[in-house]
């Protein structure tokens, strides 16, 4: 790999930006200053340092975020704060959210610069399961559970695939129900539209799982962290 690409990818720089410290003599390979931007780096054996600090090359980066409300799942937006805006302390180059959570939906969001993995997770033929917990206005009945299990016809005529709906708790005093729902699709506002089709309203919605990746409940809203090797392996294993 070219030295300027190594520095650019590792530090979230453009190739032009990466060439500056190399030409200024701030980059060494195996403790020897190298000013040639085309110098080939062996990722398995060479030690690259920038200003005396070893640079660890990582081609792909994987993060989970506990998305808060009032943030959009996009890489950029002229009007709204995005999930990328919340990732201030990491190399943001190429990062994108895999799938979208509505602005007022919270919970698990997976971000990466690995386009192939992102594509597989979103591919309809992979049927990657997404699990949500929600607070529903009204009392969800076993009849509704069975209706969801058979697939629902939305108000615009679309039909959803069967969904696994579980009743977690019913508060008759407040007339609301806590539920968990698992779906394998990603239609626009799907869960809200599914409940709308049975004349019910979603008050709160939180994603807790995507494929083999579960939300770290220790993450506060707006916080994020890198996936562990086990989490990444589990995520990949569930879609291959």
| Domains in the chain with CATH codes | 3-54 (3.10.290.10), 62-124+212-237 (3.30.70.580), 129-210 (3.30.70.1560)
Average pLDDT over residues 55-64: 89
Q: Is 172:129 a contact under the CB 8 Å cutoff?
A: no
pLDDT at position 57 over 90? no
pLDDT value at residue 135: 98
For residue 110, what are the CA distances in angstroms to 28, 101, 130, 231? 35, 10, 12, 11
pLDDT value at residue 177: 98
12 compared with 119, residue with greater pLDDT = 119
pLDDT value at residue 86: 92
Q: b/e map of 87-115 (b: 16 or more CB within 10 Å)? A: beeeebeebbbbbebbeebbbbbbbbbbe
Per the annotation, the verdict on 230 as an active-site residue is no
pLDDT value at residue 94: 85
Residue-wise pLDDT for 65-94, tens only, equals 999 999 999 998 889 999 999 987 777 778
Average pLDDT over residues 54-70: 92
Q: Is 212:238 a contact under the CB 8 Å cutoff?
A: yes
Catalytic residue among 46, 85, 102, 216: 102
Q: Can you say whether residue 175 is alpha, beta or left, with left for phi > 0 and alpha for psi between -120 and 50 degrees?
A: left
pLDDT value at residue 240: 66
The position carrying tokens 């879609």 is: 239
For residue 235, what are the CA distances in angstroms to 2, 24, 152, 170, 229? 31, 42, 28, 32, 10
What is residue 6's three-state secondary structure?
A: helix
Instruction: Note the pTM of the prediction, 2 decimals.
Output: 0.85
pLDDT at position 12 over 80? no
pLDDT at position 199 over 90? yes
What's the CA gap between 4 and 76, in Å, rounded?
Answer: 26
Band (pLDDT 50/70/90 cuts) for residue 128 is very high
């Amino acid at each position: 790999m070219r030295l300027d690409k190594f520095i650019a990818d590792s530090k979230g720089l453009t190739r032009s930006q990466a060439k500056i410290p190399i030409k200024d003599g701030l980059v060494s390979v195996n403790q020897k200053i190298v000013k040639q931007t085309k110098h080939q780096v062996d990722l398995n054996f060479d030690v690259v340092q920038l200003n005396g600090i070893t640079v660890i090359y990582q081609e792909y980066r994987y993060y989970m975020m506990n998305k808060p409300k009032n943030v959009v799942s996009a890489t950029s937006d002229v009007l709204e704060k995005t999930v990328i805006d919340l990732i201030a302390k990491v190399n943001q180059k190429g990062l994108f959210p895999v799938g979208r959570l509505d602005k007022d939906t919270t919970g698990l969001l997976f971000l990466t610069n690995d386009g192939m993995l992102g594509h597989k997770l979103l591919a309809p033929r992979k049927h990657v399961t997404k699990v949500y917990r929600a607070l529903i206005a009204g009392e969800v009945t076993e009849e509704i559970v069975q209706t969801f299990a058979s697939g629902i016809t939305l108000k615009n005529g679309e039909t959803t695939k069967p969904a696994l709906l579980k009743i977690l708790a019913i508060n008759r005093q407040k007339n609301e129900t806590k539920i968990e729902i698992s779906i394998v699709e990603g239609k626009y506002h799907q869960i809200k539209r599914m409940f709308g089709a049975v004349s019910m309203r979603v008050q709160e919605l939180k994603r807790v799982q995507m494929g083999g990746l579960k939300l770290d409940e220790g993450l506060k809203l707006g916080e994020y962290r890198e996936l562990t090797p086990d989490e990444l392996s589990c995520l990949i294993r569930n879609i291959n």
